[in-house]
Amino acid sequence: MHASRGDRLVVHGRTVGHHDKVVEIVEVLGPNGDPPYRVRGEDGHEAIMSPGPDSVVRHSKATDIGTGR
């Protein structure tokens, strides 16, 4: 999993009735875009996450343009 600042991290709900959680990646702490990431939720709360297999990165348009992806 690789991400850049400004990308969104989507953590899928694990059980019925639990919705996906979407947070913004505000800092990449690992080498070459690897986890862990400092993330910020909609409520402004920040945390450090090492996402598991139930998570995906949604790359921002700025990331896509800047890297040629």
pTM exceeding 0.85: no
Residue 68 is classified by DSSP as T
pLDDT tens, 17-45?
Answer: 888 999 999 999 999 999 999 999 999 99
Query: What's the pLDDT score for residue 62?
Result: 66
- Architecture of the domain spanning 1-51: Roll (2.30)
pLDDT at 68 over 50: no
The whole-number average pLDDT for the span 1-29 is 92
Q: Say which residue, 66 or 10, is predicted with more confidence.
A: 10
Give the pLDDT confidence score for residue 29 in this predicted structure: 97
